Amino acid sequence: MKPAQNYIELFKDNRALVERGSAGVMNTLRDAALSSLVRYGLPHNGLEEYLHTDVSKWFEPDWGMNLARLDMPVDFAQAFKCSVPNLSTQLYFLANDAFASSDRASKAGLPEGVFAGSIKEAAQNRPELVEKFYGRLADMDKPGIAAINTLFAQDGYILYVPDGVTIEKPLQLITLLSSKVDLMVNRRILVVLGRASQAKLLLCDHALTANNYLTTQVIEVFAGQDSTFELYDLEETHTANLRASELYISQDAGSKVSVDNLTLHNGQTRNTVCVTFDGQGAELSLNGVAITDKSQHVDNMTFVDHRVPDCTSNELFKYVLDESSTGAFAGKVLVREGAQHTSSQQTNRNICLTREARMFTQPQLEIYADDVKCSHGATVGQLDDKALFYMRQRGIPQQEARMMLMLAFVGEVISKVELEPLRDRLYRLVEKRFRGELTQCEGCRACR
């Protein structure tokens, strides 16, 4: 039986339970999600866009889901010590897929009118917000994980920044996977930025226990006119973790969005990023780093849709693959008819450290406008032998020289991180990762 069928039946049998534990507005999309799942099933490697990652297989085990919303207590202070010191953030937690109130998640210090917290809570206090934006970007008219996520998601995190408001302090949402049994979680994040507003959001994905996890994640970002948004999505989980994430961004005129997708430790990961330019003069900086070893797998698929003129997109993804790990990158840039003066650059560079490591890269550029500046490039290679020998001749031991070259390689992406304490921290994390010291997530005692 196809795995999708199991979930369709599971939903039908438990619909009342799912809906009882959810915000009402989330229930309004269940029918659409159900028919999408019936129609498309789960994404499998027979589809061009999932050629290198058979996500449907991940759903084959009989995953437990916390549909009854049983309290799964997590002692945050005990379990988690923030791995980004010197970075003063407004801290929030998602325990598995439920928003977790903690002492640290206070609203103090946030500008007036900002809402940051549980979608469920927002649906009660600010129903107009959730109704207007929830599920508007996530695309269920294609195979993907938006359907199954929308079918089962019961809570999540919402950030709303009103017009003209700047949140100076970065917001940090720590998502903790913590369960005594294997668990599937369906996480939902919604970000709405008003006109000329500014915010920074750091997502840290951690697994606290060694159980198997399957996470589906859907993030929707509405970047209003002239708004500025920085999103950092950092995964530090473990080898028994499966993660399928879809990030949808709509950029209005003059907005500036930067996304950094960092996979430092994982099991199997598929990240899909879809950005549409809906207003002129918007800018996107979309970057990613993946560092893998053992049999880890990271697949990033990006789609940038230039549907209006005068927008700029810059993309840089870098992978370092060790042992028998595999990576995939597919980057599609679509410049539609009339999207004149589009400037688009896409680069994907990869290093395979062993003969067993594999990288699949597929840049795609489709242009239907004639006055545009677009380029793309992809390379797969090894560390530069000449540079290695040069360094050794100067007395730098082979291992250290390799480390310096790998750090320099991914450093190009990390140097683009605008949050300085985070940037410094990332250099340290990456160095630790390369030294093999970061076997699981830095900072979680439970992992050690």
Partner 1 sequence: MSMLKIENLEAAINGKQILKGINLEVNAGEVHAIMGPNGSGKSTMSNVLVGHPAYEVTGGTATFKGKNLLEMSAEERSHEGLFMSFQYPVEIPGVSMTNFMRTAINEKRKYQGLPPMAPTEFLKFIKEKRDMVKLDAKFMNRSVNEGFSGGEKKRNEIFQMAMLEPSLSILDETDSGLDIDALRIVADGVNRLKSPETSVIVITHYQRLLDYIKPDIVHVLYQGRIIKTAGPQLALELEERGYDWVIKEYEDSLK
Q: How far is the CB of 67 from partner 1 (least distance, A)?
A: 48
Residue closer to partner 1 (CB basis): 372 or 407 = 407
Q: How far is the CB of 411 from partner 1 (least distance, A)?
A: 5
Residue closer to partner 1 (CB basis): 165 or 290 = 290
Contact yes or no for 347/378 (Cβ under 8 A): yes
Under 8 Å CB-to-CB from 48, ≥6 apart: which residues? Answer: none
Q: How far is the CB of 379 from partner 1 (least distance, A)?
A: 13
* Tokens (6 digits) for 303: 């789609």
How far CA 121 is from CA of 125, 159, 186, 267, 286, in Å, comes to: 6, 12, 17, 32, 31
Sheet with 213-223: strands ordered across: 115-118, 157-161, 183-193, 213-223, 241-251, 268-277, 297-306, 326-335, 358-367
**Phi, psi angles (nearest 5°) of residue 19:** -75, -30
**Residue ranges that bind partner 1, judged by CB under 8 A:** 384, 386-387, 389-398, 400, 404-405, 407-409, 411-412
Residue closer to partner 1 (CB basis): 193 or 391 = 391
Rounded Cα distance between 45 and 330, Å, is 14
Sheet with 373-381: strands ordered across: 98-100, 90-95, 171-177, 198-207, 228-236, 256-265, 283-292, 312-321, 343-352, 373-381
Q: How far is the CB of 288 from partner 1 (least distance, A)?
A: 17
Q: How far is the CB of 429 from partner 1 (least distance, A)?
A: 17
Residue closer to partner 1 (CB basis): 207 or 414 = 414
DSSP 8-state class, residue 415: T
Under 8 Å CB-to-CB from 412, ≥6 apart: which residues? Answer: 316, 318
Contact yes or no for 54/44 (Cβ under 8 A): yes
Q: How far is the CB of 261 from partner 1 (least distance, A)?
A: 20
Residue closer to partner 1 (CB basis): 365 or 388 = 388
Q: How far is the CB of 43 from partner 1 (least distance, A)?
A: 36
Partnered with residue 256 across adjacent β-strands are 228, 283
Under 8 Å CB-to-CB from 339, ≥6 apart: which residues? Answer: 277, 306, 307, 308, 309, 311, 368, 369, 372
Residue closer to partner 1 (CB basis): 91 or 320 = 320
Under 8 Å CB-to-CB from 81, ≥6 apart: which residues? Answer: 443, 444, 445
Give the DSSP H/E element, type plus range, for residue 407: helix 398-414
Residue closer to partner 1 (CB basis): 413 or 444 = 413
Partnered with residue 317 across adjacent β-strands are 288, 348
Residue closer to partner 1 (CB basis): 45 or 345 = 345
Q: How far is the CB of 41 from partner 1 (least distance, A)?
A: 44
Report the candidate in 52, 48, 128 with the shortest Cα–Cα distance to residue 298. Answer: 52
Give the other-Cβ count within 10 Å of 71's Cβ.
Answer: 9
Q: How far is the CB of 409 from partner 1 (least distance, A)?
A: 6
Q: How far is the CB of 95 from partner 1 (least distance, A)?
A: 38
Under 8 Å CB-to-CB from 126, ≥6 apart: which residues? Answer: 115, 160
Residue closer to partner 1 (CB basis): 273 or 380 = 380
Residue closer to partner 1 (CB basis): 365 or 405 = 405
* Tokens (6 digits) for 88: 């003063």
Residue closer to partner 1 (CB basis): 329 or 409 = 409
Q: How far is the CB of 403 from partner 1 (least distance, A)?
A: 10
